[in-house]
Structures are given as structure tokens and as C-alpha cells.
Amino acid sequence: MGKPSDDIELMQHADGELDERAAASVRTRVEKDTDARTKLEALGQMSELMRSHLELASDHVPDRKFENIWRTIAREVGTPAEVPPVRKPGMWGRVSSWFDRYRGHVITGAVSAGAVAAIALVLKPAAHEDTIVQGSPTIEVQPAALRAAPVVESLDTPGGTGTVLNLEDEDGHTTVIWVSPADTVEGI
């Protein structure tokens, strides 16, 4: 099964701790000696096993624990503990953004705040309900993420065409009906 000193040399070789001459000698031995080759392979397996296992250890620690120690660190080093969250677009922003993306396909550039009427139906009002005022692009809304692509349906209305957007986010389900006068619509 080999001498311990041989095994120590094998380990040094596996760890890249031998000089080139000694490493060449070990390589020659490993080529000829099945037992040495198997031991070298076992060392490699042990290393891989340990590394993977040790890396996974941090997965068991919830984020809040790191948040807690960050607060202590921030206090100690004089850094603000909280990083301001990136402001997410509100309901108006999301609707406008959607129209910006599809403007070329759906509505002409003539569509403006004054030419459309948007009606929001909040089917599952959350604590912070979005408020949308007809025709006004300067709406105060709470930040919310657009997690799902809006489901869009079109509809005909007297004297114009409407688009229905169904938005899902953490605030609940919101339906927005965007109505455009007929003379501003190229066709849907």
C-alpha cells in the first residue's frame, strides 16, 4: 500500500507543492504504480468533496443574518446602514413604458396625455393603492415591480379604440383601459 513518506509526497504533488524535478519523479511513479494512481485520484476526490461541501455551508444562513451584521458594521465604520432602494416605476410609468415599446405598432405619436383616457381598475387593492387620474401623466403612485408581462386585449369604444392591460404585481391585479380617439389611431 506504499510508504507514508511516499503518500506525503503524493499529497505534496497533488497540492502543487513539489518542485519540477520532484513532481516529474512522482508522475513517473504514478504512471507505473496503480495504487499510487488510485490514491492520487482519491485525494482529488476528497478535495472536491470538501470544497463543495464547505462552499455550500453559507447557503444555510438566511439573508437577514447578513443584514444584521451589516448594520453593525455600518455603525462601526460610519456608513449608512441602509442603501436607498432603486425606485421602481409606478403604474403610470409601467403603462407608459409599455406604450413606448409598442407605440410604433399600435398608436401614432399623436397619442398624448390629452388624447387618451386611462382608467385603472384595481381588482385586489393593496395597502398602497395606485391612484391614476384621467389624462394626467403626473400621477403619484407607489413603486411596484412589473413582474409579469401585461395581458393586452383591444376593444372598440364609441369614437375610438381602447386597449386593455392586465397587470399583476405585489399590489394585486390591476386592469388599465387606455382609450384613444379614432382620429389618432392608425389601426390595431
Q: Which of 20, 21, 32, 58 binds other proteins (CB under 8 A)?
A: 58
Selected from 20, 69, 114, 187, the binder of other proteins by CB under 8 A is: 69
Q: Is 43 in the site for other proteins (CB under 8 A)?
A: yes
Among 22, 27, 31, 48, binds other proteins (CB under 8 A): 48
Q: Report the site for other proteins in 12-31 (rule: CB under 8 A).
A: 12, 15-17
| 105, 179, 186 from 111: Cα distances, Å | 13, 10, 11
Q: Within 13 Å and on the Cβ side, how many CA atoms surround 33? A: 18
Angle (CA) 154 183 122, round 5°: 35
Question: Strands 117-122 and 160-169, how do they pair?
Answer: unpaired
DSSP one-letter code for 57: G
Sheet holding 117-122, edge to edge: 117-122, 172-181, 160-169, 151-157
Tell which one of 22, 24, 28, 49 touches other proteins (CB under 8 A).
49
Residue range at the interface with other proteins (CB under 8 A); choices 59-67, 124-132, 144-152, 156-164: 59-67
Question: Do 105 and 111 touch, CB atoms closer than 8 A?
Answer: no
Stretch in the footprint of other proteins (CB under 8 A) among 5-13, 19-27, 124-132, 173-181 = 5-13
Q: Which residues bind other proteins (CB under 8 A)?
A: 1-5, 7-8, 10-12, 15-17, 35, 38-39, 41-43, 45-58, 60-61, 65-66, 69-70, 72-74, 76-80, 83, 86
